[in-house]
Structure formats: structure tokens, C-alpha cells
Amino acid sequence: MAPVRLSNSLLGTFRAASIRPANAWRQKCLYHSYDYTESPPFPPAESAILSSAYNHVPSHGFTIDALKLGTRDAGYLDVSTNLFPRGAFDLVSYHLVTQRLALKDNVQFPGDGEQGKRMGVGAKALAIMAQPTYIPASLVELAKLADEIWFLAGDQSVDSSWYTKRASLSTIYSATEVFMTQDKSANFTETEQFLDSRLEDLMKIGRFMGALGEWGNYTGHSTINVLRSKGMRI
Amino acid sequence: MQASRTQLGRQLLAGSMGRVSREPYRCFSCSVRQAQQQAPPPKAPQDAQGTTHFGFQTVAEALKEQRVGAVFSSVASSYDSMNDFMSLGIHRLWKDHFVRNLNPGRNPLTSPSSGDKGWNILDIAGGTGDIAFRMLDHASTINHDAHTKVTVADINPDMLTEGKKRALQTPYARTPRLKFVEANAEKLDMIPDNSIDLYTVAFGIRNFTHKETALKEAFRVLKPGGVFACLEFSKVNNPLFDAVYQRWSFGAIPLIGQLVAGDRDSYQYLVESIARFPSQTEFRDMIQDAGFLVPGKGWEDLTNGIAAIHKGVKPA
């Protein structure tokens, strides 16, 4: 009993000691952890303006006008939009980040009901995100979203599939997003079909790649064994 | 007191002696020799009490204002052509970008009709009106705003005269939208608290004797939510490009100053004051210390950091 307690308390001190340095760089963590609360994504003043500007997006879109109205609502001036060097993109980015962080609260599991929340950003926002200056930031956000989705889906892979899973999901997500901008069907049923068929494709590819790997493994081993049986020293 | 007065007197004397002895030898060969003799930038010594930098020289605080005044009085008439020569015309792009980014003016079509009309802009050290005219043009033509006002403040009456002369060629002369004021940026007594939407200073703040005081004063006059925007020479990031740039600024600019404006010393001061100005991060910290919120990382580099735009927002 005593050794167990000792090791437990040792572990405890290790934990206590390891928390402090982790504090400093936890904002850079690329993985999920339940142990730390995430720092808020925007500073308080920016957050206040962006959240009130966000209410104007349905009527004004992701534009500098929506941002200006937001600054007014938050008690700032028109000129305070200079707090956002990237202008409308900061508003888009606010949308993306808040939707991503809210994903864990409104994620839908089978049987939970039909009303999932739609996350599409629309053609205008995609156009802003595709501007060369903003492409890196947009890709980072896409990667984070893919990571969040896989995390919420319970993915715990620690091999190279960690990367391929996120890459393939990012591809499918962005393809679906682009498809959605052209979708005129009621309730975006065509987008749903498109998404389903892309996921089906992905699974087909996954199965094929798995089979290919198995075949390669088997054939390789057999070849070596055949050669060994012929007396070759390998 | 006695000591500082003798120091002041000695510097005045040294300054006048230097000018007298150098005056007759203004020819091309001399300027080349002078450029070669140019000492490398000395390490910044700890500021003694009551002194400040004038280029690479250390002068009494009381003297800096006077000598900066002398520099700008002597370059006022050729200011624009000199800027073109020194920056190869790029300063116009910087200023255009600076103004376009600030997007001055209140568009009556997209903003609600309630509240005040137009912005109240204060352009510090804007004697020749470069920034002021651009602001008014942008407000009128881009934002259809006929109410935005610009107050141009400069410590130097010669630069203001130049600006007034140039204003006559714009539609804003003799309208309430443009006003010229002679003022020291560290003591803006004629401007009430919380009255300005946008405070701009373009290529001026490095000449101030007390930059912190000027920032405090900017904080005072701005409305809550108002913006402090500063366009100023800064530090080049790329070491290779920096070497070329230092060559250009210490070799060519004083020479061009001599050839075009007939005034080497003033332009020597200009390049030295640029080299002395704090780096982007240091100046960002100064803006934060004055109480401003800075957007993003706090500055935007122009042409690899030759110039930089710093902004600060007064919290509401």
C-alpha cells in the first residue's frame, strides 16, 4: 500500500510542477485537452464590438458596414473599426471561431433529433476568405475545424492517420462549402446528398487503401519467404 | 541651473561656429568627403538629466525644439520635391495607403442619420497639408461626406505657410472643413478633451522632444473609441535590405539634400533622427503605456519596415 501511495504523491508533485510551464505555452497547443480552459479567442474590446456587429450580419452581410454599426452599438465610433486591421475578414473570422467553439454544445448525434445547426458561411464570406492575404488564416481555421470535428467524433488515433483524417475531412468540408454556395434546393438537400456521397467516396478510398496495404504486406512477406525457401540469405 | 545655462550657451556657440566655418565650402567634392567622414552611429548613451537626442547629437531639451524648428524652416519650401527624391516617390504611396486604410468620413448612405455629421480629424505635424488634403479627398469622393473636418496643427509657422499656400489649390481653402493651427503637440490647450475622432501624425513624431507627453496629450483629446494613427519611419527587418537602406540613407540623402535644397545639415539630421527612432515593438509598447488598445500586433510595416503605421484606439 505504502509504495502505491508514494508513487501517487510523486505523480501529484510532478503534475503540480508540470502545470506551470504548461500554462505558458498552452495557448499554442495543437491538440485538445480537458485539463485546461481555453483562453478567449478575442480581447474583450474586440469581442464586444464583433459580437454586436455580428447581429448586423443577416441584414448587411460580412461587410465593413456591419462592423461600423457594431462599433456604434458597442459604444465606440465609426473610426474604431481601425481596431480590426483585416476589416470584414475579422468579422468572418469571428463567425468561424465562435461557430467552431460552439460546435461542442450543439453537436447532433444520431437519434438526438433532426434539427442540426447549419454552419455555412455563404458565398460572400468565402470570397473574402479566398483573398490571397487571408488564405493562410482561413486554412488555419479550416484545420482547426477539422480537428474539432474529429475530436468530437471521438477520434483517438496517434498514427499517421491523424493527418490523413484531418486532411481528407478538410477537403470534403471545403468542397461541400463551395457546393453549398450554388445550391438552390429547399433546405439544402442537394448539399446533404453531395456531402453523403463525398463521405461515401472517402470510405471507399479508405477501404481500398486498407485492402491495398494488406495485399502489399502479404505479397511482400510471401515473396521474401519464397526466396528464403530457395536458400537466399535474407 | 548655472551649469545647464553654460551648457546651453556652449551648444549654441558650437552650433553657430560650426555653421559659420562650414558655410563657404559647399561644393560637390566636399559633400562626398563629408559623407565618407560620417562617423558610424554611436551607441546610445544613457540620457543625462535634461538632455535629448538631436539626430546623433545629445542636446539640452530646451534646444531641440528650436533646432528642429530651424531644420524644418529651412526645408519647408523644397519639402515636397525633396521627399520625392529621397524616397523615390514611394512616400506618396505610403501616405495614400495610410489614408485609405483609415477610411475617413462618414458615409450618409450606409450609416444611420442620427448623431454627429462627419469626423473631427486632428492632423499633427501636418504643416504642408499632405495628409489633410488626402483625408478630405477620401471623405468627399469615397464616402460622400461633406462634413468631415481636418485641423492641421504644426509647431512650425513656415511649414504652415507652405500648407496654406497649397490649400488654395484645393476646394477646401476658406471652408470650415480645413483649419490651420500653430501648436506644440505636447501642449494642445486649444483642443478640448474628448473632442477628436482621429488623431494622425505622419513623419512627425520622431521630432518631438517628449514622445510620451505627446501620446498622453493625444489620449486626452481623443473621444472614447477615437483612433491614434502614426505613420513614421521605422526599422527594416531584413538585414541585407537594411544594409542597402542604411547606405542609401546615410550616403545619398544628405547629398541629395545638398544638391537640391542646398542644405546638407538638415537632411543629415533627418536620417539621424530616423535611425534614432524606436523600433516597431518599442513604439507599440509606448502607445500601450499611454493607455491605448492596439489592433492586432500593433503596427503594419511598409516597404519591409522602412516606414510603419502604428495605431491605437482609446478604450470606450
Question: pLDDT tens digit string along B154-196?
Answer: 998 888 998 999 999 999 988 999 999 999 999 999 999 999 9
**Residue predicted with more confidence, B253 or A6:** B253
Mutate to test the interface with A, among B119, B135, B227 (most CBs of A within 10 A): B227
**Average pLDDT, integer, range A161-184:** 90
Determine the residue of chain B that is closest to A78 in CA distance: B106
Distance between CA atoms of residues B162 and B194, nearest Å: 29
**Average pLDDT, integer, range B216-221:** 95
Contact B106, B147 (CB under 8 A): yes
The closest alpha carbon to B163, from B134, B206, B199, B192, belongs to: B134
Q: Which residues in A lie closer than 8 A to residue B313 (C-beta atoms)? A: 45, 76, 80, 82-83
The closest alpha carbon to B31, from B258, B260, B267, belongs to: B258
Residue B308 has pLDDT above 90, yes or no: yes
Nearest chain A Cα distance for residue B197, angstroms: 7
Task: Give the rounded distance of the alpha carbon of B104 from its chain centre.
Answer: 20
pLDDT at position B18, please? 43
Grid cell 472643413 is found at B177
State the ipTM, two decimals.
0.71
Distance between CA atoms of residues B312 and B292, nearest Å: 5
Nearest chain A Cα distance for residue B209, angstroms: 28
Contact A78 B227 (CB under 8 A): no
Distance between CA atoms of residues B73 and A118, nearest Å: 64
Determine the residue of chain A that is closest to B110 in CA distance: A65
Distance between CA atoms of residues A60 and B67, nearest Å: 53
Distance between CA atoms of residues A218 and B277, nearest Å: 69
> Angle CA(B166)–CA(B127)–CA(B162) in degrees, nearest 5?
35
Residue-wise pLDDT for B85-119, tens only, equals 878 889 999 999 999 999 998 888 776 666 667 89
Residue-wise pLDDT for A1-45, tens only, equals 444 444 444 444 444 444 444 444 445 566 666 777 777 788 888
Count helices and strands in chain A by DSSP H and E runs = 9, 0
Q: Which residues in B lie closer than 8 A to residue A80 (C-beta atoms)? A: 225-227, 313, 316
pLDDT at position B34, please? 54
Listed range (A99-108, A221-230, B42-51) with the worst mean pLDDT? B42-51
Half-sphere exposure (Cβ direction) of B246: Cα atoms closer than 13 Å: 15
The closest alpha carbon to A92, from A117, A127, A118, belongs to: A127
Determine the residue of chain B that is closest to A65 in CA distance: B110
Residue A159 has pLDDT above 70, yes or no: yes
pLDDT at position B29, please? 54
Mutate to test the interface with B, among A42, A80, A91 (most CBs of B within 10 A): A80
**Average pLDDT, integer, range B37-48:** 48
Distance between CA atoms of residues A95 and B22, nearest Å: 65
Question: Which residue from A68, A82, A86 is facing B229, i.e. has the nearest CB?
Answer: A82
Q: Strand B120-124 and strand B196-202: pairing?
A: parallel
**Average pLDDT, integer, range B256-281:** 87
User: Would the annotation count B141 as a binding residue?
Assistant: no
Residue A151 has pLDDT above 60, yes or no: yes
Distance between CA atoms of residues A223 and A230, nearest Å: 11
Contact B186, B208 (CB under 8 A): yes
Mutate to test the interface with B, among A77, A81, A134 (most CBs of B within 10 A): A77
The residues near B249 (Cβ < 8 Å, ≥ 6 apart) are B271, B274, B275
Residue-wise pLDDT for A187-206, tens only, equals 888 888 999 999 999 999 98
Contact A82 B313 (CB under 8 A): yes
**Beta strands in B125-256, from DSSP E residues, in sequence order:** 149-154, 178-182, 196-202, 222-233
Element of type H or E holding B122: strand B120-124
Grid cell 464570406 is found at A125
Distance between CA atoms of residues A86 and B105, nearest Å: 19
